Amino acid sequence: MTTVYVIEGSEVTGPGGFWRAVGEAVNGPGGYFGRNRDAFADCLSGGFGTPEDGDFVLEWRDHAVSRRALGPELFDELVEIVHERAPGTLRLR
């Protein structure tokens, strides 16, 4: 069964908010996996919160809100990390 992790984009007010939202999406309330791009990439590769078999979906709700808060450059970089490390798992809503 595919696991769906939901990032609530409306809670992303900047990079710190993004790391917090992803940590909680993957590891539950108060969840933590790191606070940088490398930790994000590792998390998506499996074994650091996401399933090792890659059977998951990352659903990013209100992604347009996140894009404005993060800035287009960082947002696009984060999306690219997902495409590189976990192809086919990203749903932008």
Q: What beta strand segments (E) does 1-93 contain?
A: 3-8, 56-61, 90-92
Cα-based angle 84, 76, 59 (whole degrees, multiple of 5): 70
Rounded mean pLDDT, 78-87: 96
**CATH class of the 3-92 domain in this structure:** alpha beta
Q: CA 80 to CA 77: how far, in whole Å? A: 5
**pLDDT value, residue 34:** 83
- Tell me the domain boundaries of the chain: 3-92
Q: What is the pLDDT of residues 48-64, one digit of tens each?
A: 788 988 899 999 999 99
Q: What is the pLDDT of residues 9-59, one digit of tens each?
A: 999 999 999 999 999 999 999 888 789 999 999 888 887 788 988 899 999
Rounded to two decimals, the pTM is 0.92
